């Protein structure tokens, strides 16, 4: 499979019954964009922009950020780029942005909540993204959004800046990585352009297991039926309003999970760049019908190990 995967990497990810999904790359460094394209990525499905901030000893100004984002757009040559706005706090500190000590940083000021307390940092980033993109396909994505109020507050900044600098229309979406946003996906879907499911945090918050917990790592499984049900709700709500849904957590590159996610209706898989060829090859081996069947069965089970057993038996 490895060799076939490599040889066919530039072909689309199309199932045996002709259903095509996008397979994109997750990146933290725009210098790796050419490599991702060479591996067959259909775009960048998650640019973790906090890594650009972490690589500097003070907040990068607009010009510095713009140069970074421009590198990615140039290498993508027309393919889309989903840029996630700064996602710090929780497990990701920024030295020059001292945060108050919190008993539970994972439940504290992080992601979009933090950005909305310092809108000037978010505004600079949005200006840099819009300017670097120009007419090229930029998709802006907000992290750790829990409900429509947060999305509206962040989206209002995009609208204001777009008007200010006469930037063209862009897709604006949210990560679904907090259970509340999956439960309220129908209300978010009315106003966002897309969702991308962050299964790393969604699993953590659904199962109440720290994503980095050494002893509990075996229990921390995105194939848990509780997580799968949240994914199913998200996709259903999105498709009911013609929005697309990606997955950008680790689960998207787990060969056992790929049929289930495809069967649940995920439109885009964004995975570690070196996994792109393999994920495409897995999808080419499936039919959407079989995948739907597996997904329905998995949703009816009670534990993650039952889901794994079911998938192993197939």
Binding site for ligand PEP (CB under 6 A): 46, 48, 177, 198-201, 248-249
For Mg ion, the nearest residue by Cβ is: 201
Cβ proximity to ligand PEP: between 177 and 254 the closer is: 177
Q: Decide if 148 contacts 162 (C-beta within 8 A).
A: no
For ligand PEP, the nearest residue by Cβ is: 198
Would you state the torsion angle of the CA atoms of residues 86, 91, 95, 100, taken in this order, to the nearest 10 degrees?
Answer: 100
Cβ proximity to ligand PEP: between 15 and 42 the closer is: 42
Distance CA 117, CA 115 (A): 5
Task: Determine the 3-state secondary structure of 125 from DSSP.
Answer: helix
Binding range to Mg ion, per CB under 5 A, among 39-47, 146-154, 165-173, 175-183: 175-183
Distance CA 305, CA 221 (A): 9
Interaction between residue 201 and Mg ion (CB under 5 A)? yes
Interaction between residue 89 and Mg ion (CB under 5 A)? no
Distance CA 245, CA 236 (A): 10
CB of 20 to Mg ion, least distance (A): 27
CB of 144 to ligand PEP, least distance (A): 8
Q: Decide if 23 contacts 40 (C-beta within 8 A).
A: yes
Interaction between residue 221 and Mg ion (CB under 5 A)? no
Locate tokens 């490895």: which residue?
Answer: 2
Backbone angles phi, psi at 55, to 5 degrees: -80, -5
Find, among 199, 183, 188, 204, the residue nearest to 154 by Cα.
188
Report the partner that residue 248 touches, choosing among Mg ion, ligand PEP, none (CB closer than 5 to 8 A by kind): ligand PEP
Cβ proximity to ligand PEP: between 132 and 248 the closer is: 248
Q: Decide if 7 contacts 277 (C-beta within 8 A).
A: no
Cβ proximity to ligand PEP: between 15 and 142 the closer is: 142
Report the partner that residue 287 touches, choosing among ligand PEP, Mg ion, none (CB closer than 5 to 8 A by kind): none
Report the partner that residue 267 touches, choosing among Mg ion, ligand PEP, none (CB closer than 5 to 8 A by kind): none
* Token pair listed for 10: 């530039």
Report the partner that residue 285 touches, choosing among Mg ion, ligand PEP, none (CB closer than 5 to 8 A by kind): none
Cβ proximity to ligand PEP: between 65 and 253 the closer is: 253
Cβ proximity to ligand PEP: between 167 and 177 the closer is: 177
Residues 6+ apart with CB under 8 A from 166: none
Q: Decide if 280 contacts 8 (C-beta within 8 A).
A: yes
Task: Determine the 3-state secondary structure of 244 from DSSP.
Answer: strand
Interaction between residue 193 and Mg ion (CB under 5 A)? no
Cβ proximity to Mg ion: between 177 and 250 the closer is: 177
Q: Which of 89, 90, 198, 277 binds Mg ion (CB under 5 A)?
A: 198
How many CB atoms neighbour CB 2 within 10 A?
Answer: 9
Binding range to Mg ion, per CB under 5 A, among 7-15, 46-54, 200-208, 283-291: 200-208
Q: Which residues bind Mg ion (CB under 5 A)?
A: 177, 198, 201
């Amino acid at each position: 499979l490895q060799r076939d995967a490599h040889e066919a990497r530039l072909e689309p990810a199309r199932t045996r019954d002709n259903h095509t999904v996008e397979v994109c790359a997750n990146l933290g460094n725009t210098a790796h964009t050419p490599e991702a394209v060479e591996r067959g990525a259909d775009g960048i499905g998650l640019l973790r922009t906090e890594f650009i901030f972490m690589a500097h000893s003070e907040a990068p100004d607009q010009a510095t950020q713009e140069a970074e984002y421009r590198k990615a757009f140039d290498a993508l040559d027309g393919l889309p780029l989903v840029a996630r706005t700064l996602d710090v706090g929780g497990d990701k500190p920024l030295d020059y942005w001292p945060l108050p000590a919190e008993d539970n940083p994972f439940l504290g000021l992080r992601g979009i909540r933090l950005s909305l307390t310092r809108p000037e940092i978010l505004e600079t980033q949005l200006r840099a993204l819009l300017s670097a993109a120009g007419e090229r396909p930029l998709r802006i994505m907000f992290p750790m959004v829990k409900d429509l109020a947060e999305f509206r507050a962040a989206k209002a900044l995009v609208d204001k800046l777009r008007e200010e600098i006469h930037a063209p229309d862009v897709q604006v979406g949210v990560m679904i990585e907090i259970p509340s946003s999956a439960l309220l996906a129908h209300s978010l879907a009315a106003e966002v352009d897309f969702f991308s499911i962050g299964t790393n945090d969604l699993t953590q918050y659904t199962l109440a297991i720290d994503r980095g917990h050494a002893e509990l790592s075996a229990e921390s499984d995105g194939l848990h039926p509780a997580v799968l049900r949240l994914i199913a709700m998200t996709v259903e709500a999105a498709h009911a309003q013609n929005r697309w849904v990606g997955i950008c957590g680790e689960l998207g590159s787990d060969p056992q999970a790929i049929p289930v996610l495809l069967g649940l209706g995920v439109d885009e898989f964004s995975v570690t760049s070196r996994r792109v060829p393999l994920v495409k090859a897995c999808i080419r081996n499936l039919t959407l019908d079989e995948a739907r069947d597996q997904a329905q069965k998995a949703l009816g089970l009670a534990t993650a190990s039952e889901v794994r057993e079911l998938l192993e038996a197939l």
